[in-house]
Amino acid sequence: MRTCVVLCTFNGEAFVAEQVAGVLAQLQPVDEIVVSDDASTDACVDRVREALAGFGGDLRIHVNPATLGVVRNFETALRLAKGDVCFLCDQDDVWRADKVQRMVAAFAREPQLMLLHSDARIIDESGARTGATLFGQLRVRARDLAACDAGDALSVLLHRNIVTGATVALRRELLDLALPIPDGYWHDEWLALIAAAVGSVRRVDERLIDYRIHEGNQAGLRGVMPRVRIRAAVSRRGGFHAVRARKLDALIERLRCLGSRVPVARLHLVEACRDHWRLRANLPQRRTERVASILAEWRGGRYRRFSNGWRAALRDLVEPLP
């Protein structure tokens, strides 16, 4: 299997050379490296070119004329990738030397495997280990990991995304199915959902990268999670739920376009999830008129499967509309 590392950069001169060094030091050498820089204003591209000067494989360095943002920059880079197995690579992490070897072996063992991810050790700006892990910081539950291992990744991912792009390897075939990425989705979230719908999503039960937390993070724990948690905590019922339903509409539309690649049961699961969020978004103004719908949704098990169980049901019952 030919391997491709897809490295996206933006004003990353501080750490990118160390990341590239880790990629080049892999026990199984990579065949191809694609770099997409999102119109950096520092010396990031120069550092990348210097670090890759001795690379003997296929190399493509693309610089966007204007900043596209994290998701569109990764989409641009992924469109340039040609390898059989593509590794998503952030500019500021550090890879373990056996990362490529371990992940390629997993794809070779399982033809249905579309996307593979792993846990990570958290390091600080200086590279020192903090003692924390990525799964721990994201509060990934053991039961969710077990469900994914058992082949039910789609149910887990419809509830919440547990896949972090910096740890991801994917089969090139997935890109033909998943691109373009609809507005409103993070690239790792969307790729994981499509992979789980058409094949399998698994994780390597080891920490294959050091995930760096620093002031310049564009996404991940510092860049994304605080905003997500704050929005979920303060948002009133209705608007947030309607956004979830619209995102699922986009997913359903794509899955229907993929036809027989998507098992009917998986399509129906996504439709049921969309219907749940749509119902929550459109409950009546009067609390007394909500009771019957909430009870029916509870008895059908969809509060437990797609939301936060009794807490979500109780919130829908008592919270006033905006």
Q: CA-CA distance, 186 to 161, in Å (whole number)?
A: 10
Tens digit of each residue's pLDDT (9 = 90 or more) over 287-315: 999 999 999 999 999 999 999 999 999 99
Q: Which of 196, 220, 244 is the C-terminal boundary of a domain?
A: 220
| 229 assigned to some structural domain | no
Structure tokens at 304: 């437990």
| 292 assigned to some structural domain | yes
Range of the domain at 287: 235-318
| Sequence letter at residue 226 | P
How confident is residue 321, by pLDDT bands cut at 50, 70 and 90?
Answer: low
Q: What residues form DSSP beta bridges with 120?
A: 209
pLDDT, mean of residues 227-233 = 45
Pairing verdict, β 94-95 and 85-89: unpaired
How confident is residue 169, by pLDDT bands cut at 50, 70 and 90?
Answer: very high
176 and 305: one domain?
Answer: no
273 and 298: one domain?
Answer: yes
| 210 assigned to some structural domain | yes
161 and 263: one domain?
Answer: no
Burial of 136 (0-12, 13-18, 19+ CB in 10 A): exposed
Q: Which of 220, 247, 268 is the C-terminal boundary of a domain?
A: 220
Structure tokens at 116: 């593979």
Q: CA-CA distance, 102 to 263, in Å (whole number)?
A: 29
Q: Per-residue DSSP letters for 49-104? A: HHHTTT--SEEEEEE-SS---HHHHHHHHHHH--SSEEEEE-SS-EE-TTHHHHHH
Number of C-beta neighbours around residue 303 at 10 A = 21
The total number of structural domains that make up the chain: 2
Q: Which of 220, 249, 273 is the C-terminal boundary of a domain?
A: 220
pLDDT at 231 over 80: no
CATH number at residue 39: 3.90.550.10
**Coil/strand/helix, residue 242:** helix
| 202 assigned to some structural domain | yes
212 and 247: one domain?
Answer: no
Pairing verdict, β 32-37 and 58-63: parallel
195 and 300: one domain?
Answer: no
| 226 assigned to some structural domain | no
208 and 246: one domain?
Answer: no
What pLDDT is recorded for position 224?
Answer: 45
188 and 302: one domain?
Answer: no
Q: CA-CA distance, 195 to 174, in Å (whole number)?
A: 7
Tens digit of each residue's pLDDT (9 = 90 or more) over 35-76: 999 999 999 999 999 999 989 999 999 999 999 999 999 999
59 and 167: one domain?
Answer: yes
| 225 assigned to some structural domain | no
> In whole angstroms, how large is the CA radius of gyration of the chain?
21
Owner of token pair 């991801």: 168
164 and 311: one domain?
Answer: no
19 and 161: one domain?
Answer: yes
| 228 assigned to some structural domain | no
Using an 8 Å Cβ cutoff, are 322 and 238 in contact? yes
211 and 245: one domain?
Answer: no
Q: CA-CA distance, 162 to 114, in Å (whole number)?
A: 16
8 and 121: one domain?
Answer: yes
| 183 assigned to some structural domain | yes
